[in-house]
Structures are given as C-alpha cells and as structure tokens.
C-alpha cells in the first residue's frame, strides 16, 4: 500500500500547472483533493513520475450564478457543492448528488473537478453532468476550450482532457422547473455506486416533453440510457421504458455484484428515478 517514488511540484497558478505538465510530459498527474488518484497510487495501478499539486489554487473554488447556467470551479469541494445556496435554487440535482459522494471526510477534501477528471464509471457526479448536458471548461497551452459532457467521458478512467490541460470549470444548466432524481444503490453509505441513475424530466399532458436519463457503473464510462429516453418521449410509459434501461450497456461482474444483477438494478432504479423526477 505504498506508492512508487515520485517527484512533487506545487503550482501557484493554472498557467503554472500547465507549464509543469508540459515540462514533465504524460507521466505527470495533477493532484487536487487526492481521493481519486492516491488510492490508485497506493495500489500501484497508477505510477506517475511527478505530481503537480493544484489544491491551493483558491481561484478555482466557487459556485456562481452565470445567467443561464451555474458555474462551478473545478477545485470546489464536494461539501461546498452540496451546501451551495445557488445550486439548491437553480440545480438541486447537482448539490444532492454531491452530498451522496463518499463520507463527510471525503466530501470536505475531494473536489468536483478531481472526481470528474478521474473518469471513474462508478462515480456519481459524471453521470449527473451527463444527464444535464453540462459543459466542462479546460485550459491548456492553446487557451480555453469547452467540452460537452457527452464528449468528455471517453472510456474507463479516460476523458477528453489532453495531458497538458487543466479542468477549470463545470457549467451546469439551470433546471427551470424540470424534475430531477438521482438513485444510487450501494452496500454502505461511503461506497461507490453498484449502479446509479440520474433523471431529468419535464412532464406534459399524457407524457414527457423532456427525458434525460444517465447510468452509473453500467459500462466503461457513464452513459445515457438512450432507449429509455426514446420510449419516455414516445409513449410516456415509465414501466416499459424502465425495462429498456440495460439496452446497450456492458456492466461488469466483480466482487460487489454480477453483471446480471447490475442490469436488474438499472431497471429498478431507472423506474424509481423517473417516477421521483416526474413527481417534483
């Protein structure tokens, strides 16, 4: 449980972090709260040669009303996301999901940007951002670029971030009256989700005019339940749509659950999520 040897650099600014990443190449990794990277290093599943510490960049810790969306700094702690008055009013799905991450110790140290950039398919917030069609802002040597959540999560622990880029901000749309839910099944409160489902819906007469459903831990990356969304919009039948929650998924079997059980959970949790979202 001891990491391999590494060098340590502390960045004094985002530009300084980018410079250090360029200097040390692909073997360098950013360190924020450390709750995603350090466990992998202790297991030697990750062996970066250099850690670039950005945890003290206070200008990346904020939650702001930005007009048509809420802007969240990448170094905002989960606790601050969970207790944000701005999010409680404009997008309570994000604040609720942040409150489900780990335990109080994790939430007071871990950051939303670290969780998102880690690209773990069992993580809660990436799924929520996918369901919300959020936008992620990254800064690199060439300046800033915006990345849609649907394009950001590319595989198991893989994202669209380049090796010399820093995730600086997450932009989530305001819900504007849409119903929401995040359902999560886990063995203990601080455990990763065995399966999770995020739903954002708007009801209309006899059905739904909006249906966004995303799944946690049903593949190598968070994924949209496209068939569920289609059936909800076309038929409004929550039960029938929920039965299609595992369509196109590829859940793994491990010590926590079989793939078959994950498929069953996806259907059950999707129904619960859509029903709860529709009742708000």
pLDDT tens, residue by residue, 206-261: 899 999 999 999 999 999 999 999 999 999 999 999 999 999 999 999 999 999 99
* DSSP-derived 3-state class of residue 46: coil
Half-sphere exposure of 134 (CA within 13 A, CB side): 25
The C-alpha angle 223, 88, 90, rounded to 5 degrees, equals 75
Eight-class DSSP state of 193:
P
Same-domain pairing of 48 and 62: no
Same-domain pairing of 188 and 201: yes
Neighbouring CB atoms inside 10 A of 176's CB total 9
Answer whether residue 266 is part of any domain. yes
Predicted pLDDT of residue 167: 98
Answer whether residue 233 is part of any domain. yes
Confidence grade of residue 60 (pLDDT, cut at 50, 70, 90): very high
pLDDT tens, residue by residue, 8-49: 999 999 999 999 999 998 889 898 887 778 788 788 878 888
Report CA torsion sign: 20, 22, 28, 32. positive
Same-domain pairing of 64 and 168: yes
Residue 36 host element (H or E): none
Residue 21 host element (H or E): helix 14-24
**Of 107, 258, 108, 109, nearest in space to 195 by CA:** 258
Same-domain pairing of 41 and 65: no
Answer whether residue 2 is part of any domain. no
CATH number at residue 192: 3.30.390.50
Q: Which of 172, 200, 216 is the last residue of a domain?
A: 172
Same-domain pairing of 209 and 107: no
Q: Rounded to whole angstroms, how far apart are CA atoms 278 and 241? A: 14
pLDDT tens, residue by residue, 76-124: 999 999 999 999 999 999 999 999 998 888 899 999 999 999 999 999 9
In sequence order, the 6+-apart residues with CB closer than 8 A to the CB of 205 are none
Q: Rounded to whole angstroms, how far apart are CA atoms 148 and 266? A: 24
CB 204 within 8 A of CB 216: no
Confidence grade of residue 150 (pLDDT, cut at 50, 70, 90): very high
* DSSP-derived 3-state class of residue 96: helix
Q: Rounded to whole angstroms, how far apart are CA atoms 140 and 161? A: 9
**Of 189, 187, 70, nearest in space to 135 by CA:** 70
Predicted pLDDT of residue 125: 97
Same-domain pairing of 206 and 148: no
Total structural domains in the chain?
A: 3
Same-domain pairing of 221 and 186: yes
Residue 87: phi and psi, rounded to 5, are -70, -35
Answer whether residue 14 is part of any domain. yes
Evaluate if residue 55 carries a pLDDT over 80: yes
Domain around 125: 58-172
Look up the pTM and report it: 0.94
Predicted pLDDT of residue 70: 98
Same-domain pairing of 185 and 168: no
Answer whether residue 1 is part of any domain. no
Q: Rounded to whole angstroms, how far apart are CA atoms 66 and 173? A: 10
How many residues are there in the chain?
A: 280
Same-domain pairing of 73 and 149: yes
Same-domain pairing of 270 and 208: yes
CATH number at residue 41: 3.30.43.10
Q: What is the mean pLDDT of the chain?
A: 94
Confidence grade of residue 133 (pLDDT, cut at 50, 70, 90): very high
Evaluate if residue 279 carries a pLDDT over 80: yes
The arithmetic mean of pLDDT across residues 157-185, rounded, is 96
Q: Rounded to whole angstroms, how far apart are CA atoms 54 and 224? A: 31
Same-domain pairing of 232 and 248: yes
**Per DSSP, what are the bridge partners of residue 95?**
none
CB 135 within 8 A of CB 166: no
Answer whether residue 123 is part of any domain. yes
Residue 123: phi and psi, rounded to 5, are -80, 145
């Amino acid at each position: 449980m001891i990491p391999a040897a590494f060098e340590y650099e502390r960045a004094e600014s985002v530009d300084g972090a980018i410079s250090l990443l360029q200097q040390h190449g692909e073997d360098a990794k950013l360190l924020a709260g450390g709750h995603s990277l350090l466990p992998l290093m202790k297991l030697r599943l990750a062996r970066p040669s250099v850690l670039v510490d950005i945890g003290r960049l206070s200008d990346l810790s904020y939650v702001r009303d930005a007009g048509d969306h809420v802007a969240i700094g990448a170094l905002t702690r989960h606790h601050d996301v969970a207790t944000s008055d701005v999010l409680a009013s404009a997008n309570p799905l994000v604040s609720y999901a942040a409150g489900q991450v780990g335990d109080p110790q994790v939430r007071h140290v871990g950051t939303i940007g670290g969780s998102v950039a880690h690209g773990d398919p069992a993580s809660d917030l990436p799924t929520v951002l996918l369901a919300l069609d959020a936008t992620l802002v990254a800064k690199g040597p060439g300046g800033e670029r915006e990345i849609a959540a649907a394009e950001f999560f590319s595989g198991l622990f893989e994202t669209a971030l380049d090796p010399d880029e820093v995730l600086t901000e997450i932009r989530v749309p305001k819900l504007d009256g849409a119903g929401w839910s995040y359902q999560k099944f886990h063995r203990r409160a601080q455990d990763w989700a065995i399966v999770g489902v995020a739903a954002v819906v708007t009801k209309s007469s006899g059905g739904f005019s909006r249906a966004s459903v995303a799944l946690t831990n049903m593949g190598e990356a968070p994924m949209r339940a496209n068939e569920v969304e289609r059936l909800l919009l076309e038929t409004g039948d929550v039960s029938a749509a929920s039965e299609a929650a595992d369509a196109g998924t590829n859940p793994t079997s491990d010590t926590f659950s079989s793939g078959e059980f994950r498929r069953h959970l996806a259907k059950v949790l999707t129904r619960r999520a859509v029903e709860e979202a529709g009742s708000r």
